[in-house]
Amino acid sequence: MNAAPADQIRLLDLQAFDSKLDQLAHRRRSLPEHTEIDKVNADHTALKDLVIAAQAQHGDTTRELTKAEQDVEQVRSRAARNQQRLDSGAITSPRDLENLQHEIGSLAKRQGDLEDVVLEIMERLESAQTRVTELTARLEHSTVVLTEAEGRRDAAFAAIDAEVEKVGREREAVAAVVPADLMKVYAKLRETQGGVGAARLFQRRCEGCRTEFSITELNSIKAEPADKVVRCENCSRILVRTADSGV
């Protein structure tokens, strides 16, 4: 394949832009913020689940308390009714009086037991409330941490993307003047040779694979016409001869 020496040299500029774009894409993918955000996100999701569970626990305990308070109220009003009947003097039979007094006594005991239950539930409700408050605060904190990390990531993205756009424009300007057939070979080599399709010949070395050529090899490269597209025998990349190649 033949190409004007100037176009071959342009390939080195193109390579520099492409390598730069590859670096930028790599930097974009491997920002430390990605790992950080993944971790904070996992914590955040776990905390959300914990908050939901704690709120459910709080709701259940609240309902349990209402029920227990109703039980106390029922016993209290029944005892009050009995006391009223007793105080009214309407009951005169000693047996009925005795039964009534006995029931009033049982109800008082029952009310005491139920009030203990209410107290126990109130304690659990307080712990449930504390847990909801604590977990909600942690969730809010994790939201702040997440938003902050996402902000840093987006700022890094914006800076990288702006540079990608700038380098991309410069690359296009060069790519537009390189002949299509040379571009095709270069692009193919970039795919198969780890992103480097064209390398400079410098101080007897291929700068693509760092192979040092023997004098004989160097002489045969020298013997090639300037518009011949030379390929490195070791890595098969396009070997570009420049003014400082020493050939």
Concatenating the DSSP letter of every residue in 226-244 gives: TTB-EE-TTT--EEEE-GG
Residue 189 class from Cβ within 10 Å (0-12 exposed, 13-18 middle, 19+ buried)? buried
Q: Are 125 and 61 in contact (CB under 8 A)?
A: yes
Q: Is residue 235 involved in binding Zn ion (CB under 5 A)?
A: yes
Instruction: Report the b/e string of 59-93 with b at 16+ CB within 10 A.
Output: eebeebbeebbebbeebbeebeebeeebeeeeeee
Q: Is residue 232 involved in binding Zn ion (CB under 5 A)?
A: yes
Q: Is residue 108 involved in binding Zn ion (CB under 5 A)?
A: no
- Shortest distance in whole angstroms from residue 247 CB to Zn ion: 15
Distance CA 7, CA 187 (A): 15
User: How many residues sit close enough to Zn ion to count as binding (CB under 5 A)?
Assistant: 6
Using the minimum distance from each CB to Zn ion, give the nearer residue, 197 or 208: 208
- Touching Zn ion, residues 152-211 (CB under 5 A): 206, 208-209
- Shortest distance in whole angstroms from residue 197 CB to Zn ion: 11
Using the minimum distance from each CB to Zn ion, give the nearer residue, 75 or 221: 221
Using the minimum distance from each CB to Zn ion, give the nearer residue, 40 or 182: 182
Of 19-27, 137-145, 216-224, 234-242, which segment contacts Zn ion by CB under 5 A? 234-242
Of 65-73, 90-98, 164-172, 233-241, which segment contacts Zn ion by CB under 5 A? 233-241
Using the minimum distance from each CB to Zn ion, give the nearer residue, 132 or 206: 206
CA 148 to chain CA mean position, Å: 12
What strands lie across the sheet with 198-202, from one edge to the other?
205-206, 198-202, 238-241, 230-231
Could you list the residues that contact Zn ion (CB under 5 A)?
Answer: 206, 208-209, 232, 234-235
